[in-house]
Amino acid sequence: MDAKQDNKDNKMNNGPASGEREERLTSPGEPPAGEAGEAATPEAKDGPAGAGEEPGEENEILTRLQAELAAKEEALAGLQQRYLRLQADFDNYRKRTRREQEELTRLANARLIESLLPVLDNLERALAAAAGAEKQALETGVEMTLRLLKEILSQEGLMPVAALGQPFDPEVHEAVAREETPEPDKINLVVEEFRRGYTLHGKLLRPAMVKVAVAAGATEQETKQDPHAANAAPSEG
């Protein structure tokens, strides 16, 4: 009886001690050793794989950007070459146009001078024959020369400005004198032409120098107030 009782007491004493050792080996909240090993396995697999994918993506982006940069640089070089060619073509065009304009001017002058040569010939003949020629013959020669010159200039677009007997027009007439008149219907008319005016292709080349009729007894102040007579010189005494 005593031996059985001793064995029973030993078992009861050894049991709690073994349980305490197991609790001390296992911390609260930690999984068992087998479960911790299984849970750590996926993390170990994911870590190296994720670290290997990031450098690959960066290399791919860098390669793509380098390719785009190379394409842009090539396109820019092409545009620069095209710009240089266009600039050279424009410079050549400008020089060629300037030469053509100068050549046209020379040809136009040559044509006009050539058309005036007959006038020069007639004047030389008239001067050569003036010493022994009669007055009528000399007048006829000069009239023919003048008529030929007018025809040539008319073909070039030169036209005389109408002046004598026309209303004074400050756009084409230059009043250098004025003359009083008792006739109301002649007031502000051109009564004398000192130098003929001309237009070239419809544009005024030079105004006609004229004398303008003004009302009898008109004062200097009245003449200044008249927009047409304002350009006229004082009346001739």
pLDDT along the chain (237 residues), means of 10: 54 52 52 50 49 72 91 92 92 91 80 78 74 71 84 87 94 94 90 91 90 78 50 50
Residue 71 forms part of a structural domain: no
Residue 42 covered by a domain: no
Q: Count other Cβ atoms within 10 Å, centred on residue 198.
A: 16
- Whether 21 maps to a domain, the answer reads no
Residue 105 lies in a domain: yes
Q: Which residue has the tokens 């250098």?
A: 176
Residues 148 and 175 occupy one common structural domain: no
Residue 121 lies in a domain: yes
Looking at 156, 190, 206, the residue that finishes a domain is 156
Q: Are residues 171 and 224 in the same domain?
A: yes
The residue among 106, 121, 156 that closes a domain is 156
pLDDT at residue 2, as a whole number: 53
So what's the pLDDT on residue 166?
A: 94
| pTM (predicted TM-score) | 0.49
pLDDT at residue 194, rounded to an integer = 92
DSSP letter at 231 equals G
In whole angstroms, give the CA distance from residue 156 to residue 83: 44
Beta strand 208-215 with 173-181 is parallel
Q: Are residues 164 and 225 in the same domain?
A: yes
Which of 156, 175, 190 is the last residue in one of the domains?
156
Q: How many helices (H) and strands (E) would you count in the chain?
A: 4, 6
197 lies in the same domain as 225: yes
Question: Residue 49: inside a domain, yes or no?
Answer: no
Number of domain units in the chain = 2
Q: Which two tokens stand for residue 28?
A: 């609260």
* Residue 104, SS3 per DSSP: helix
Give the whole-angstrom CA distance, residue 158 versus residue 112. 12
Q: Is 89 a member of any domain? A: no
- Is residue 206 within 8 A of residue 198, CB to CB? The reply is yes
**Which run of H or E residues covers position 28?**
none
177 and 150 share a domain? no
Structure tokens at 113: 């001078």
- If you ran DSSP here, which 8-state letter would residue 171 be given? T
Domain span at residue 220?
159-231
Token pair recorded at residue 145:
């020369």
* Residue 63: inside a domain: no
